[in-house]
Amino acid sequence: MDNVMKIIDLSHLVYDGLTTHPSHPRIVINDFVVHAFTAPRYQPPCKGFATKQLLISDHAGTHVDAPSHFYTESESVDTQDLSNYFGEAILVDVSGKELHQPVNLELVKKTLEKDNLKVEKGDIVIIRAWAGRWDDPDFHHANGLALDAARWLREQGMKAVGIDLGNIEDNADMTRKVHMFLLGEKVPIYENLANLNALPVKRFMFAGFPLFLKNCTGSPVRAVALIKEQEGS
């Protein structure tokens, strides 16, 4: 019983027509073949097969950024160590902040102190910065992680970071300084995480493995939290 794990899905549903971010293409999912079309080729009890065709950005839905997203000569998602995408994680819940308030160092330290949390070496830091739905009008206007906080978290030993926004930093800041810093440090960035309000604990195991996509700058992921049942009871 001690090893029973609860799995909490931290991913958004991917569906035909989904637009993750205004700068990325919408997702297209259509029928390639349907059961009725293939059925004549088979004998009972088989009644044919169906497959879908997917047209999808490498930054669609809940996804992870690789260094090559902003650095032309850096690592693509297929060349990074898989250990970067799995491990101990902490939840930094700042969802009560004002819309345009950045998740700066002062706010991060205050939240960690309030929740009795410490960033350990090798931690994955998950930031809840949004209390609403991801299709709310203000979603893309919410301010995310500030550079001073990103630098400090990395200094503490953070190996990956995620957020429930479409952009980990201020969407209006076209210098993309937080992306540039983190990806320059080879720190994977998860965006569009979901259901962070469902986490019953602030420390848990996290997994968000990318697809094995050659030369891609990111990948959709099925991000999950793994929690021992007694921890959340």
- Could you tell me the residue ranges of all domains in the chain? 13-55, 63-232
Pairing status of strand 189-191 against strand 51-55: unpaired
**pTM (2 decimals)?**
0.94
pLDDT band at residue 208, thresholds of 50, 70 and 90?
Answer: very high
Q: Is 63 helix (H, G, I), strand (E, B) or coil?
A: strand
How many C-beta atoms lie closer than 10 Å to residue 150's C-beta?
28
Locate 139 and state its tokens. 């979603």
CATH class of the domain whose range is 63-232:
alpha beta
pLDDT band at residue 1, thresholds of 50, 70 and 90?
Answer: very low
Cβ atoms 144, 129 nearer than 8 A: yes
Residue pointed to by tokens 């998860």:
190
Residue pointed to by tokens 């004998």:
43
Q: What is the DSSP letter of 104?
A: -
pLDDT band at residue 231, thresholds of 50, 70 and 90?
Answer: low
Over residues 53-72, the pLDDT tens digits come to 999 999 999 999 999 999 99
